[in-house]
Every structure is written in C-alpha cells, then in structure tokens.
Amino acid sequence: MKKEFREIAKKLVDSMTLEEAASQIKYDSPAVESQDIPAYNWWNEGLHGLARAGTATVFPQAIALAAMFDKEMLQKIGDVIATEARAKYNESRKYGDRDLYKGITMWSPNVNIFRDARWGRGQETYGEDPYLTGALGVAFIKGLQGDGKYLKTSACAKHYAVHSGPEALRHGFDAKASAKDLEETYTPAFYAAVKEAGVSGVMGAYNRVNGEPACASQKLIVKKLRGDWGFDGYFVSDFLALMDIHENHHVTKNVVESAALALKAGCDVNAGHVYREIMEAYRQGLVTEEEIRNAAINAYTVRAALGMFSSDCEYDSIGIESLDTDESAELSYKASINSTVLLKNDGLLPLNKDKIKTIAVIGPTATSIAVLEGNYNGTSSRYVTNLQGIRNAVNPGTRVLYSEGSHLFNSKVQNLAVDDDRLSEAETVARAADVVVLCVGLDSTIEGEEGDTGNAFAAGDKTSLFLPESQQKLIRRVIDTGKPVIIVCNTGSAIDFSYEDENVSAIIQSWYSGQAGGQAVADIIFGNACPGGKLPVTFYKDGTQPPMEDYSMKNRTYRYFTGEPLYPFGYGLSYSSFEYSDVKVNENDTEAASGISVTVNVKNTGAVKADEIAELYISNQIGEKLTNGLNDSVEKLKESTDADNQPVFSLAGFERVTLAPGEAKTVTFKPGERAFDTVLEDGRRVKLHGQYKLYVGGQQPDARSEALTGSKCLTAEISR
C-alpha cells in the first residue's frame, strides 16, 4: 500500500473515538457521522464476474478460466469485473444503497489448491497446481486492482490457508499439514498474491491449521503473512468463521475471547458478528486500544487506496453504460471457447453440418442455465444454453430433437418410475437422429459450498467421481442405440468417464461454461472454433484418492500421484496438431528471476487455425541428486529429505499461442525464482546443486499423456 493511503487512514482513525474505530472493523461498517464517512459493507464477490448484484457479465467458472492457461485473458476478465463493480458501486451510492454486494472490496480470487476431486468448492479455484494457481491468481488480482493512482477494486486472496474440504466438517475441522506440504503446496499461491500482485486483502479459512484457527493463527498471519511476506493489506475472516473458534473448534470459551484471539492475531475485519463484542474484550483487558486502532487503520488504508476519501479517483465516473456491454459479452464468449477441453475424439468432431439432417440433443443439462453459471455468479441478460446454441448453429432445415432424458440426480425416495421416466423418450429421440449430443453433468445443487444452496450431496462435496445414477442409466441407454454420441459435460470438477471413454465418439469438458457456454459448445462441435483448453486438474478413476480428511499431499495431484489417471493434468486435444522443436536453455538470463530461460519452437502442422498451450516442467527428485555427485553441504541435508515425498515433476511455465496452419512461433519461458527450489521435510526451501531435467511440450511428460496425445515432451538438462 502506498504510504500516503496509510497516512490518510491513520489520520481518520486517530480522529475517531475508540468506539467509532471499533465499529469500523466489522464487515457491515456503520457511518461515522463525526467524520462524515458513510456506511460501507465490505462483502462483495467477483469470482468469475460480478456476483449477486443483479445484471452483470457471467464468465465461465474459475476452474474453467484456469483451463485457458492464459494469464493475459484472465487479467482482462478481472478488469471487466472491476469495471462492472465500480459501475454498480457508483450508481447504487447515488441512491444511498450501501448494502452488501454493492461495494468495491471483492472477496476473490479463491487460490486454494484443488487437492481432492470430490471437493464441492474446487470449482472456485484455479486447479491443483500451486504454480498455475499462483500465476493465474496474480493475473486476476492485477486485473481487479488495476494500475492507476487508486485501486480499481480491492482483491482478496482466500481462503488462507490449507482449505479444501470436506465441506461438511469445515467449521470444526483441523487440517493437519506437514511443514513441507504447507510450503510446497498450500501457501505458494498466497505468497505470489502478496509478493507479485500486491493483493490488498487476504481472507482466512474456517478450519484450524495444525491446531490453530486459521482466522486467528499466530503462525499463519503474524509470522508468515505479516512477518515473512510483509503483507500490508487487510485480513478478513470468512463469514461467521470467528464464531467457530468457540462454538466448534473449542479453542476459546466464549465470543468475547474469540474476538480477542482473532484481533491479536491480526484479523482486521470480521465478516460476521463477533466483533460486536470487541469493546467488551477491551473492557475485560483482553485487547488494547492500539490493537483496535491498528486493525481499523489497516481497513481504512484499503478504503483510502480505493479513493473513498478523495475527490480525484479516476474510477468515480464509471456508470451504468459500462455494464453488460457487447465487448464484455464477446470476452466471455472467447473465454468459453478457450476453456473448453476436448477429452476424446475418434474423428467424429468437428461435425459437418451439411451432412447432418437430424441431431438429437439429450440430457438434463441441455437447457440448464445453472450449468452456465456455477456458484458465486451474477445474472446475465444473454444466456445461451447448450440446446439453444446447437439450434442456432445448425443449417436451416436441419431437425433438432430434444429430450431431457433423465433428472439431474436421483430423487431421495428411490422411485424408479419417477427417476427413469424420460429414458424411453431419450431412446426414441436418439434412434431418430444422425448423431447425439448428450448433455450431462452437475450444478451447484450437487457440488458447491456447504449450506450455500442446499446442496443435495454431502454438504456440497461429491460422494464419488461418477455422474449420478440417473445420468449413468441415460448414458448407457443412449449408447445402446448404436448412434454416434458426443458427450458434453458441464461440471466444476473431474468425472470418472472410464465407461464413456470406451463407448462414445467424443467427450467435451465444458465446465460451468459462462453466459455464452451453449454458443461455444455448438461452435466447437461444428468446427467454427477449435478447442484449446487443457485440464487444470487430474481426472482420476474413482476410488484412487486417499480419504478426503487426509491433508498429506502423498498420492494427490499429478505431482505426487502414483496411479494412472484417466485424463492427466495439462491434457487436452485439438482439431489441429503441433510440432515442438529446437528447445534451448539460457543459463545466464539476467532478466529471468531464476537466471534461466527456455525457448522452444512450436509449429501448427494441422489444417486449421488453433491455439496451443506450451508447458514447461522441471524434474527435481532428491533421490537422484543425492547419488549424482553432489557437494558435501548437500549430502548433509540427506537426513532432512525424503526422496519418496518429492514431486515427480512440477509445472514451471506455460504460454498460450495462436497459430495459423503451417505457422511457427518461438515460445519463451522464464521460470520464477522458486522454480528450482527443493522443500525439505521441515519446510525449508533450499537450492540443491546437481542436474535438473526440463520437459517442454503440449502436455506433462507422463506415460498416460504421451499415450493419449501420441507425442512426447522435448527434454533438456541443466546444472545448478
């Protein structure tokens, strides 16, 4: 934060009575009449579009935006969200409307690690990899906050830290993570948000972390976030999380003690009602006046940085004309295209619409708006469902037949007559068509946040990686017709498509696809656009993951998984083909944070214009290094390492390029300063000497990826 903003904040807070200052560290801060400061509600959401505030541009869900592997586009999306938030804020305050979801402190992005494919809120994240999550989080934060004199909006990295389910237990759960896993997986994205993006807010998680409530943790907040990283923004609790400290974690005896514990740990703003008791904590001698005022100064520094106490803020003129524009709609459509991942194609796609006389669109997500939205969403004026997109795309005279086919999930009372009442219609429609587009998936009533929308299954977490039984029956019934089948899947997480992969012609992963999701699906099916997304998460076979309550990273994510995935992280097919060549390593690049840059030539060898995502991985296996002539100082670290607990390889760079047929471009990677670090069992980062292997290609360098794509990564070795 700029020094001038903290000076403004300090002057204002110092002029308040202690009671007034204490009132300003609640999320629903009342007006301070003595200072002519209006009321302000801190709570607003902008995960993938301005949320819960009426009409706004609805972009694909965050997990879909991650599948784009595109920092530049994500920053543009963040900027649109900030523009629309400013427009709502400016217009609503004209009428004295200062309610929640009308402010410019956005409680986004979610940079938690999607470590377990069953986690309902995983859809809000950028996937399972800490480097990808950090890089995309930085881009999104920069888009939200802008680069002007003032912050365009305030971004907030959440949920700090070690938070990824289970949803049903989160209010009393103690997430036990090793020092190595904390440093290697759970906190790097937060570090990037603070150090690289200058994020102005951080939100704590509901759970405890190794015994300490995350929203009142001396180790996480005081030592690491404020101390080691130098974070100078505001820290906010998750909603009602401070109540959990005494009601569910049982760390304190009552609400007053919880308020004191959180304030002393550096929680500046309470989303909830615990800080209503902060003055009682002061009267009991549990907190000091300085601690209360410091929290208020931290909060007011952000408000000053947003221009709330100035008359020259460059964003104050943004108005209603900036909402729901054609330009933002086009960006949302492009994001829907670029995030779509083609998981399987036996050659059926793209369809030649001139040869299709009748097409069947079947399934419970074909007409669903919910699967366009995901959770934490706004309301669009421009929804295009999967069915409507296909109707719009086919030639005049082509017959489009539709059947719901099945319910989204089985009724709680197992009445097969009700659950299966659309199967015969679906079969009839399928048999009458030349090809079937089978629309399946989930929505936020099945996977999502605990208690958010009355989730039907496990408080928002999935109970398995399979689609609900009702949809499995539908899929088998349609496949049995013998007609060519294209599956379009709308989910926010991985699905086990083992059976479908063997029995259908194509599988398209559309995620929660945004307001133009149906248009994007249709354009990809008919070849008006080329799929280019890659998976930000591993698609496992059901039953291969550890218990959800186990927070060890062993056998989780592509970096540690010992089994064979169905579809690997970083994987996705295209209608074109690409050739990688001439990989070069510059070990003395003074402009790269790590001192190393890598270049590779990528050529489109296919017949259509297409995007390719080039990926760089680094292999850093201690076991090999310690038998590879390392110096004595490293040998002494042997007892502090576990060769079996190291990543097999880790993503260290990615670039999305657009190539015309026959066109080639040189892609340059500049790994970050931490790219070659080894994290020891005690959590220390060290830079070991020895040989490092680099892999460059259109996927990760594992056997499954090579088998699916038919290509191998190029390799290079360097000495460090």
**Does residue 536 have a cis bond before it (omega within 30 degrees)?**
no
Tokens, residue 421: 């009442």
What gap in Å lies between CA 375 and CA 301, rounded to an integer?
30
Quote the percentage of the chain above a pLDDT of 90.
91
Cα 246 to Cα 11, 354, 642, distances in angstroms: 35, 66, 38
- Of the candidates 194, 104, 183, the one whose C-alpha atom is nearest the C-alpha of residue 151 is 104
Nearest 10 degrees: Cα torsion 675, 679, 683, 687: -70
> How high is the mean pLDDT of the chain?
94
Write the single-letter amino acid at 344.
K
Pairing state between β 664-669 and 678-679 = unpaired
Compute the average pLDDT of residues 363-369. Answer: 98
**Does residue 161 have a cis bond before it (omega within 30 degrees)?**
yes
Pairing state between β 201-204 and 234-236 = parallel
Can you say whether the dihedral through the CA atoms of 644, 125, 60, 371 is positive or negative?
positive
Residue 228, classified by CB atoms within 10 Å of its CB into exposed (0-12), middle (13-18) or buried (19+), is exposed
pLDDT at 125 over 70: yes
- Of the candidates 385, 402, 390, 399, the one whose C-alpha atom is nearest the C-alpha of residue 356 is 399
Q: What domains can be seen in the chain, in order of their start residue? A: 1-22+162-305 (3.20.20.300), 340-560 (3.40.50.1700), 578-719 (2.60.40.10)
- pLDDT given for residue 323 in this prediction: 97
SS3 421: coil
- pLDDT given for residue 415 in this prediction: 54
Q: Render pLDDT for 126-139 as a digit per residue (tens, 0 to 9).
A: 999 999 999 999 99
Tokens, residue 693: 């292997």
Q: How confident is the model at residue 108 (pLDDT cuts 50, 70, 90)?
A: very high
What gap in Å lies between CA 347 and CA 350, rounded to an integer?
8
SS3 72: helix
| E strands in 366-421 | 399-403
Q: Render pLDDT for 308-353 as a digit per residue (tens, 0 to 9).
A: 999 999 999 999 999 999 999 999 999 999 999 999 999 999 999 9
Residue 627, classified by CB atoms within 10 Å of its CB into exposed (0-12), middle (13-18) or buried (19+), is exposed
pLDDT at 430 over 70: yes
- pLDDT given for residue 383 in this prediction: 98
- Of the candidates 493, 497, 457, 489, the one whose C-alpha atom is nearest the C-alpha of residue 366 is 489
Cα 32 to Cα 22, 23, 309, distances in angstroms: 11, 9, 13
Q: Render pLDDT for 569-596 as a digit per residue (tens, 0 to 9).
A: 999 999 999 999 999 999 999 999 999 9
- pLDDT given for residue 627 in this prediction: 47
What is the residue whose two structure tokens read 């990677």? 669
Write the single-letter amino acid at 180.
K
Q: Render pLDDT for 468-515 as a digit per residue (tens, 0 to 9).
A: 999 999 999 999 999 999 999 999 999 999 999 999 999 999 999 999
Q: How confident is the model at residue 410 (pLDDT cuts 50, 70, 90)?
A: confident
Can you say whether the dihedral through the CA atoms of 426, 427, 432, 434 is positive or negative?
positive
Strands across the sheet containing 234-236: 156-160, 201-204, 234-236
Helices (H) and strands (E) in the chain, counts: 23, 23
pLDDT at 85 over 90: yes
What gap in Å lies between CA 485 and CA 707, rounded to an integer?
23
pLDDT at 122 over 90: yes
How many of the other CB atoms lie within 10 Å of CB of 575? 19
Return the DSSP state at 227.
Answer: I
SS3 118: coil
Q: How confident is the model at residue 411 (pLDDT cuts 50, 70, 90)?
A: low
SS3 212: strand
User: CB neighbours of 656 closer than 8 A, spacing ≥ 6?
Assistant: 68, 69, 70, 338, 532, 611, 612, 613, 614
User: Which one is predicted more confidently, 591 or 66?
Assistant: 66
- Of the candidates 149, 78, 145, 153, the one whose C-alpha atom is nearest the C-alpha of residue 313 is 149
DSSP 253-292: SSHHHHHHHHHHTT--BBSSSGGGGHHHHHHTTSS-HHHH
SS3 524: helix
pLDDT at 241 over 80: yes
User: CB neighbours of 403 closer than 8 A, spacing ≥ 6?
Assistant: 360, 362, 422, 425, 426, 428, 429
Radius of gyration of the chain (CA): 26
How many of the other CB atoms lie within 10 Å of CB of 345? 17
Can you say whether the dihedral through the CA atoms of 103, 378, 145, 22 is positive or negative?
positive
Compute the average pLDDT of residues 378-388. Answer: 98
pLDDT at 628 over 70: no
Of 110-124, 403-417, 441-455, least confident by mean pLDDT is 403-417
- pLDDT given for residue 636 in this prediction: 53
What gap in Å lies between CA 349 and CA 527, rounded to an integer?
8
Q: Are 526 and 351 in contact (CB under 8 A)?
A: yes
- pLDDT given for residue 689 in this prediction: 83
Q: How confident is the model at residue 622 (pLDDT cuts 50, 70, 90)?
A: low
DSSP 597-649: EEEEEEEE-SSS-EEEEEEEEEE--HHHHTTS---HHHHTTGGG--GGGS-S-
Give me the long-range contacts of 635-641 (CB less than 8 A, separation at least 24).
Answer: 637/680, 637/686, 637/688, 640/680, 640/681, 640/682, 640/684, 641/678, 641/680, 641/681
What gap in Å lies between CA 267 and CA 5, rounded to an integer?
20
Active site residues: 238
- pLDDT given for residue 245 in this prediction: 98
Q: Are 73 and 330 in contact (CB under 8 A)?
A: no
Q: Bridge-partner residues for 718, per DSSP? A: 692
What gap in Å lies between CA 264 and CA 405, rounded to an integer?
56
Residue 285, classified by CB atoms within 10 Å of its CB into exposed (0-12), middle (13-18) or buried (19+), is exposed
What is the residue whose two structure tokens read 């669009």? 380
What gap in Å lies between CA 25 and CA 592, rounded to an integer?
41
Return the DSSP state at 321.
Answer: G
What gap in Å lies between CA 302 and CA 308, rounded to an integer?
9
Return the DSSP state at 485.
Answer: E
CA atoms within 13 A on the CB side of 497: 29
What is the residue whose two structure tokens read 């514990």? 261
CA atoms within 13 A on the CB side of 685: 11
